[in-house]
Structure 1
Amino acid sequence: MVVVNESVDTTARIPAPGFTPRVSILDLAIIGRGQTAADAFANSVALARRAEARGYERVWYAEHHNMAAIASSATSVLIGHIAAHTSTIRLGAGGIMLPNHSPLTIAEQFGTLETLHPGRIDLGLGRAPGSDQTTARAMRRDLRASDQFPDDVRELQAYLGGESLVQGVTAVPGAGTNVPLYILGSSLFGARLAASLGLPYAFASHFAPGALLQAVELYRSEFQPSTQLAEPYAIAGVNVIAADDDEHAQQQFTMVRRTRVARFLTPGRDLTDEQADAVLASPQGQQLAQMMHYSAVGVASEVASYITEFAHHAGVDEVITAHASPTIDDRLRSVDLVADALDPVTI
C-alpha cells in the first residue's frame, strides 16, 4: 500500500478535467554506507540514463555542503558530468543556493553548461545556505546575503539574457543563453518572488511539507507573465519508493527512516536499528517523520496513483520524485516501476 503520514485530501485543488502531471526526478547523489563519492557519481549517471530512457521530464541535483552522505556540493560540475553521459534529458540544479555565490559566477557556470549542452539545462535557485552556519562561514558566506536574494536573481537573469545590470560586465559564456530559471522554496517568500518575476516555482515538499498548499495558491494568484513564462508553472516534490511487492517497499522505507535519523539527528554516530527506532519514536524523531509527510511507498500502481492524486491535491503541473531506496538497484527499479505504471503521456 501507499504509506503517508496522513491520507492525501484531493478535494483541496481540482485541476481541469484530463489533467496529468509531468514527472521528473530529484537525485540527491547519495553516498551509501561503505561507498565513496565516486560510487555516488556512477550511480547518478546510471539513474539519469535510466530516467532518459524511460521518458522522465528532467533530473535535478541540489547544492548541499558538509553532508557526508550527499555528493552534489559542486552542483554545476556534477551536472556537466551527467550531461556528458546522457543525450536528451533536461538536467539542472534543484537548486543552486544563490547567496553562496556571485550571480556572475553562476551565470558563467550555467552559461557554459548551456553552451556545451544546448536546450538541456535548468537553473533552480534557492536562498538557504544548504549547510549549517559553521559551514557557511567556511564558504566565506555573508549571512546577510539571503536578504539580497531577489536582487541577485534579477542580476543573474540579466546576465543570462545579455542585458547586464552591472555596467561593463558581461557573462562569458552566459550572455544570451537565456538558461531558464526556477525559484525554489519551502515558504511563501519564494512563492511571492517567483510570481512577481514570472518564473516557475518549485516547492520542497519532499522534506518541508507545511506550507505547500498556501504557497502554490499564492504563487498562482499573484503570478505576473514574463518573457520566460506566460502562465504559472508549479512543481512539488514527493519521496518515492516503488517495489515489486509491498513488503520490500516497506522494508526500504524503514531503512531510509533509520538512515535519516543518523544523518540529521545523530550525525557522526552509528546507531543500531533498535536505537534508531527509539529516536524515531521520540519528539525529535516525529518531527523528522513529518518532514517525509509526502511519501509514496508501495507497489507501482498505488505509487503512480498517489503521484497523480498529489498533483491534484497540491495544484502543481509537475511532480519531482525523490527515489529514496537505499541501493542504486532498488532506485533504478523504482524509476522503472513508476514509468511502467504511469500513462506514457504523463511522463
Structure 2
Amino acid sequence: MKLSILDQSAAAHGRGQDETIRQTLALAQQAEAWGYHRFWVSEHHSHPSIVGTAPEVLMAAIAARTQRIRLGSAGVMLPHYAALKVAEQFRVLDALAPRRIDLGVGRAPGSDGRTAQLLNPDRNASERFPQQVMELQAWVNGQNLPPGHPGHKVYAYPQSDTAPDIWMLGSSDYGAQLAAHLGLPYAFAYFITDGQGADEALQIYRETFRPSAGLQKPNAALCVWALAADTDEEALRLFESRARWKMDRNLGRIGALLPPEDAARDYSPAEQFALERLREGALIGSAATLGRKLRQLAARLEVDELVLITWTHDPAAQSRSYELMAQEFALTPST
C-alpha cells in the first residue's frame, strides 16, 4: 500500500508561524528520505490553526529541496482564482520538478464566507467549479479550448512534454461524481467527516467512473488523520492536543495547538461523552496498533493509498510518528 503525507502547517502555541512553515519544508525532506510516495500541502485562509495559505509557493520551495517524492496541493481552492493563472503556476512547478507535481483542486472555500468573498467577490464562483476544472485540464495539458470560448488559442506556459496530474478532492458525493465524470483521480477527505460518507462517495466514484486520456481506471486515495508513537499510552497522551482543539472548535474557538500537558480543561458531561468517543475512534497508537487500524480501514474501503495527516504540538513527535509508519509499512525511497 502507498503511504503519503498531507501537512497542513498547523500552528502550535509558543511557536512562530514562520517557523511552522519552515517545519513543513523540513518534514518534506524527511518524508522523501523515509520513502513516502507523495507530500501534499493544503490551502486555508484567515485560519488561526492552519497557516499554510499558498500551496504553490510551498511546493516550489519543497521542489528545490527534494529529488524524487511527488509534490501536490490538497488542495487549491479553485473558485478563488482564475483557472488560467492556476494552470500557469503549476506548469512552472512542473518545469521545476517534471513528473512530480499533483494539482489537487477543491470547491470548498478553505475559509469563512467573508474571507472567501475577499478572495473572490463573485458570490457564485463555486457554481462554475465544473467548468473551471475542465478549463484547467485543457490549459494544464496544453490543449486548445474550443472556438467561441474566451480562452480559445490562449495557452498556459511554460509548455513541455510533461504535465501535472490533476486530482479531485472532496468530502461528499459531489466531488466523487465530478471526478468520475471527468476521469480524474479522487482523494476523499476522511479526516474532515470522521469517515461519514466515505463508503458512499467511493462507491459512486468507482461505479460511475468514465475512462479519460489520463486515467483508464478509478484511482482513489483516502486522507486520514493519524498519530503513532512508541507506545499506545504515549500516542494517547500526544493526542490530547488534537482532542482539545476539536472540542474547542465545536464551541467556535479556533486557535493554535496546545502542548499535551496543557490541553486539559473542564468539560461538560456532554463534552466528556463526546471526548471519550473521539478517543475511542481515533486512528492513534503504537506503530503496530496504528498499522493494524490503517490496514483494516484501507481494506474495508478498498483503497491502496492512504494520505496521513498528523498534528502534534512538538515537531519531533510529528516526525517520529511518520518515521514509525514508514518502518511499519516497510517504505523504501524511490530511485
TM beyond 0.5: yes
Provide, for residues 225-275 of structure 1, a one-character-per-residue CA deviation record: whole Å limited to 9, x for no partner: 111111100011221110011111101111211123345634367997454
TM-score, normalised with respect to structure 2: 0.89
CA distance in structure 1 between the aligned counterparts of 2:78 and 2:275, rounded to whole angstroms: 28
Say whether residues 1:207 and 2:192 are aligned partners.
yes
Whether the 8 Å CA contact 1:25–1:58 is kept in 2: the answer is yes
- Of 24, 39, 42, the residue aligned with 1:44 is 24
CA distance in structure 2 between the aligned counterparts of 1:288 and 1:108, rounded to whole angstroms: 47
- Residues 127 and 280 of structure 1: CA distance in aligned 2, closer, same or farther (over 3 Å): farther
1:102 deviates by 0.7
Provide, for residues 178-219 of structure 1, a one-character-per-residue CA deviation record: whole Å limited to 9, x for no partner: 211000001111111111111100000012121100000110
Say whether residues 1:124 and 2:85 are aligned partners.
no
CA distance in structure 2 between the aligned counterparts of 1:127 and 1:31, rounded to whole angstroms: 24
Give the number of the structure with larger relative contact order, counting CA–CA contacts within 8 Å between residues 6 or more apart.
1
Residue identity opposite 2:271 in structure 1? S
Whether the 8 Å CA contact 1:280–1:289 is kept in 2: the answer is no
CA distance in structure 1 between the aligned counterparts of 2:182 and 2:269, rounded to whole angstroms: 40
Query: Which one is further off, 66-75 or 128-137?
Result: 66-75
- The answer for the alignment partner of 2:236 in structure 1 is 250
CA distance in structure 1 between the aligned counterparts of 2:316 and 2:269, rounded to whole angstroms: 26
Task: Give 1:19-38 correspondences, 5 Å limit.
Answer: 21-38=1-18
1:143 deviates by 2.5
CA distance in structure 2 between the aligned counterparts of 1:288 and 1:144, rounded to whole angstroms: 40
- Residues 122 and 293 of structure 1: CA distance in aligned 2, closer, same or farther (over 3 Å): farther
CA distance in structure 1 between the aligned counterparts of 2:60 and 2:196, rounded to whole angstroms: 33
- Residues 230 and 303 of structure 1: CA distance in aligned 2, closer, same or farther (over 3 Å): same
Whether the 8 Å CA contact 2:34–2:331 is kept in 1: the answer is no
- The answer for the alignment partner of 2:170 in structure 1 is 185
Query: Which one is further off, 301-310 or 139-148?
Result: 139-148
1:287 deviates by 9.7
Say whether residues 1:151 and 2:138 are aligned partners.
no
CA distance in structure 2 between the aligned counterparts of 1:293 and 1:60, rounded to whole angstroms: 27
Task: Give 1:1-347 correspondences, 5 Å limit.
Answer: 21-165=1-145, 166-173=151-158, 177-208=162-193, 209-263=195-249, 265-267=251-253, 273-275=263-265, 278=267, 281-282=270-271, 286=274, 295-344=282-331
1:293 deviates by 8.6
Residue identity opposite 1:94 in structure 2? A
Residue identity opposite 1:53 in structure 2? A
The gaps in structure 1 that reach 5 residues or longer are 1-20
Task: Look up the SS of the partner of 1:29 in the other structure.
Answer: coil
Provide, for residues 48-102 of structure 1, a one-character-per-residue CA deviation record: whole Å limited to 9, x for no partner: 1111011111011111000122121111001111111222111110111110111
1:294 deviates by 6.4
Aligned residues: 324
Whether the 8 Å CA contact 1:261–1:280 is kept in 2: the answer is no
CA distance in structure 2 between the aligned counterparts of 1:344 and 1:144, rounded to whole angstroms: 44
CA distance in structure 1 between the aligned counterparts of 2:176 and 2:90, rounded to whole angstroms: 23
The runs of at least 4 consecutive aligned structure 1 residues that moved more than 6 Å come to: 268-272, 287-290
Residue identity opposite 1:135 in structure 2? T
CA distance in structure 2 between the aligned counterparts of 1:288 and 1:110, rounded to whole angstroms: 43
- Residues 164 and 87 of structure 1: CA distance in aligned 2, closer, same or farther (over 3 Å): same
Residue identity opposite 1:173 in structure 2? P
Residue identity opposite 1:299 in structure 2? S
- Residues 78 and 264 of structure 1: CA distance in aligned 2, closer, same or farther (over 3 Å): farther
1:289 deviates by 6.7
Task: Look up the SS of the partner of 2:11 in the other structure.
Answer: coil
CA distance in structure 2 between the aligned counterparts of 1:159 and 1:268, rounded to whole angstroms: 37
Say what the alpha-carbon RMSD is for the aligned residues: 2.5
Whether the 8 Å CA contact 1:238–1:294 is kept in 2: the answer is no
Task: Look up the SS of the partner of 1:265 in the other structure.
Answer: coil
Whether the 8 Å CA contact 1:161–1:178 is kept in 2: the answer is yes
TM-score, normalised with respect to structure 1: 0.86
CA distance in structure 1 between the aligned counterparts of 2:317 and 2:327, rounded to whole angstroms: 15
